[in-house]
Amino acid sequence: MVGGLSFNLDGSMCCGVTSAGLMVRVGPDALEKTLTLPHVQPMKFGSRRLSGFVIVEPAGYRSDAALKAWVQRGIDFVSTIPAKPRRIRSGETRPSPSPRATGR
């Protein structure tokens, strides 16, 4: 969708890699505050700014600890979204729902 490699958690995109850097979903409420951090830019798809997503330039995730912290931000936000039901393709059987999806 955004010209890179994306990673999902329970059906929702949380982070990925594009030619510009690390894409992280921080959510609309944290967007403006996140944009004040060093090496962070708004995520754009074509000419449109994506709400709730940022691009972190490589200098912003150069260390393992920094990369882990950015990925965790994406996971933390997506963990607040209800899990999306998994689409079943022809010939597949429906797996058991994840504990997160059922609230167990």
| pLDDT (tens place) for every residue of the chain, 104 residues total | 556 788 988 888 999 999 889 999 999 999 999 999 999 999 987 888 888 999 999 999 999 999 999 999 999 999 998 877 777 777 666 665 555 555 55
pLDDT of residue 92: 67
Domain tally for the chain? 1
Q: What pLDDT, on the 0 to 100 scale, is given for residue 11?
A: 85
A 10 A CB-CB count for 25 gives: 27
Full domain range(s) for residue 18: 5-84+96-100
pLDDT of the residue at 101: 54
The secondary structure of the chain, three-state, reads CCCCEEEEECCEEEEEEECCEEEEECCHHHHHHHCCCCCEEEEEECCEEEEEEEEECHHHHCCHHHHHHHHHHHHHHHCCCCCCCCCCCCCCCCCCCCHHHHCC
